Amino acid sequence: MSNRFFTFGLSVAIVSASFITTAKEFVASYDGFYDRMKIVNKGEYNQAKVGFYLKEMSSGENCSLSEGHIITEKQEFPLNFSEQMELLLPFDEKLDKDKAMVVAYTKNPKHECQLVMQIEAFIDKKEFIAKSELFDTFTELNDLIDDLSGFVLRTVFGFLIPDMVGVTLLFDQPVSLLSKSDNSIKCVGTRCTIVINSDWDSSTEILSFSVAPSKVIPYIKK
């Protein structure tokens, strides 16, 4: 059990070992997805969310999907997914009560895929980002981590969960920081890690990047 909590703390991605497949077909109960989406909806987050992905275990790359379905005893619906292979599940109480199952088909049956529930946020795709805007995103992501981990996990197993110290910006291509900055911002390849402090809340400073970020994930300093 403790290893699972430790994985959550380091990567801020909940890896479900119960849902690992080496076959072409991936099957999981809808209720696990619904429970996480319910927490997000209750928190009324503007940016933060939980993204659901199937990732190849050895490489960490997204598993390519061909199609999928959401199935109950009496009905069947198509499972939508994005170009990044994120499972786009509806938030539907009836599907939860009807004990729906989520079925996805991978293109490569040799890939060993696992379900990853990633805490993330989307921001406007622009090269210029205010520090105050990143502070708001940081706050939402941190609040969502607290909501998902729960009071008991924080108090009893809190020593296993390192603190979130900032955000990581993900880009679709290699990026460079164009504006001046101290050591709080480091860009390597297609990501920039940013350490954020309380001063950013009211800062008017603008950060400039060579390309626009595609999404934001928590930065957990190991």
CATH number at residue 37: 2.60.120
What are the beta bridge partners of residue 104? 26, 68
* Contact assessment for residue 148 and residue 50, using Cβ atoms and an 8 Å cutoff: yes
142 has a pLDDT exceeding 80: yes
Which among 55, 89, 120 is the end of a domain? 120
202 has a pLDDT exceeding 60: yes
| pLDDT of 109 | 78
Residues 64 and 155 in one domain: no
Residues 22 and 64 in one domain: yes
- Of residues 222 and 59, more confidently modeled: 59
Residues 93 and 158 in one domain: no
Residues 105 and 140 in one domain: no
Which among 86, 120, 154 is the end of a domain? 120
Task: With cut-offs at 50, 70 and 90, classify the pLDDT of residue 1.
Answer: very low
Residue 125 DSSP label: -
Q: Computed from CA positions of residues 40, 184, 126, 131, in that sequence, does the dihedral angle turn out positive or negative?
A: positive
Residues 163 and 191 in one domain: yes
Task: Note the pTM of the prediction, 2 decimals.
Answer: 0.81
Residues 51 and 142 in one domain: no
Residues 152 and 200 in one domain: yes
Residues 11 and 77 in one domain: yes
* Contact assessment for residue 202 and residue 155, using Cβ atoms and an 8 Å cutoff: no
Mean pLDDT of 67-83: 95
Euclidean distance between CA atoms 153 and 182, whole angstroms: 34
Residues 136 and 112 in one domain: no
Residues 80 and 108 in one domain: yes
| pLDDT of 25 | 83
Task: With cut-offs at 50, 70 and 90, classify the pLDDT of residue 84.
Answer: confident
Residues 108 and 35 in one domain: yes
Task: With cut-offs at 50, 70 and 90, classify the pLDDT of residue 74.
Answer: very high
For the chain, what is the domain count? 2
| pLDDT of 160 | 56
Structural domain range at position 74:
2-120
Task: With cut-offs at 50, 70 and 90, classify the pLDDT of residue 150.
Answer: low
Other beta carbons less than 10 A from residue 81's beta carbon: 21
Non-local (6+) Cβ contacts of 163 within 8 A are 220, 221
214 has a pLDDT exceeding 50: yes
Task: With cut-offs at 50, 70 and 90, classify the pLDDT of residue 161.
Answer: low
Residues 9 and 87 in one domain: yes
- Give the DSSP H or E segment for 135: helix 131-156
| pLDDT of 48 | 94
